Amino acid sequence: MALPQVGSFVVMVFLIQLSFNTFGQAGDKKAQRARQERRVMCRENADKAFQVGDWGRAKAYYDSTLALGFLEDVALQRAKTCLLLKDSVGYCSGIMEVAPYRGEVCDEQFRSVCIRKDSVVFEASGLSVWNFAGAASVARQWNRWDGRTIHHLYGGDDSLLVAISTSPSDTIFFITDSMADYPGGIGELFRYLSTVTRYPQDALDQGRSGIAYVEFMIGIDGSLRDFRVIKSGGMRSMDQEALRVLKAMPTWTPGFFRGQPVTMQMSVPVRFTIR
């Protein structure tokens, strides 16, 4: 029996592969259409329930809509629904999800529901004098969305000594006597960003510029984690690129407080400017 020629065999394999690719693309498009139809249906049902005052049903449908993809206006409407259900934590966390893209949502209502502040002498703060000797007063802020308390500790001359965030399980430093640092310093960090950041094509096409601010944690060993956009650059592609390049950073030098390494939270701006 004659063997098929090599050229014919290659063409046959190519045609089979092409048919599989075409079939896969058609299947992907069909799945995307079905997903979009489900999202539209869930959104319509949520809005109808909201309009008639069925808050519980509206929230369930808004949750289903967001499970199929994040939409700012849906997340905002879900947050408002949580407030009507007297779920202040759901309201506050929902607003914080939208805040990177719409800073105006952190309005007076948000501040009255989600933030509580006071100032006390250090002895009334509940913090350990052994850990923070020299502190005379503390300005505190309770955040309802994540259950954390932010403390700014001041010395007797009103100078800021340290800033921390506490929960029942951990303490995170914002300001300390030896801040965490990128290898080689801040100049090397911005050289790294200018080298590896790729301008998103859709932003170039639209002539868009912006600055994405990304927050992250630096562990006591200098490892990086918990990256999130806290202020959008104006386009999702900018935010995604900012996250990509910062997640690829090398290990940092950790922060220290009175000689001991501490977990720190920091934020870095990633600029997108058309020159």
Q: What are phi and psi of 208, to 5 degrees?
A: -95, 140
If one compares 4 and 79, the residue with the highest pLDDT of the two is 79
State pLDDT tens for residues 195-235.
999 999 999 999 999 999 999 999 999 999 999 999 999 99
Q: Closest by alpha carbon to 238, among 203, 273, 266?
A: 203
Q: What are phi and psi of 78, to 5 degrees?
A: -65, -40
Q: Mean pLDDT throughout 235-240?
A: 95
Q: Under CATH, which number does the domain 186-272 receive?
A: 3.30.1150.10
Domain assignments of the chain as residue spans, ordered by start:
9-86, 112-175, 186-272
Q: How far apart are CA 44 and CA 32, in angstroms?
A: 18
pTM above 0.75, yes or no: yes
Q: How far apart are CA 156 and CA 147, in angstroms?
A: 29
Give the dihedral sign, CA 109/112/115/119.
positive
> What pLDDT, on the 0 to 100 scale, is given for residue 22?
56
- Average pLDDT of the residues of the chain: 90
State pLDDT tens for residues 67-91.
988 899 999 999 999 999 999 999 9
State pLDDT tens for residues 151-199.
999 999 999 999 999 998 899 999 999 999 999 999 999 999 999 999 9
> Are 153 and 162 contacting, i.e. CB atoms less than 8 angstroms apart?
yes
Q: Closest by alpha carbon to 181, among 270, 271, 261?
A: 261
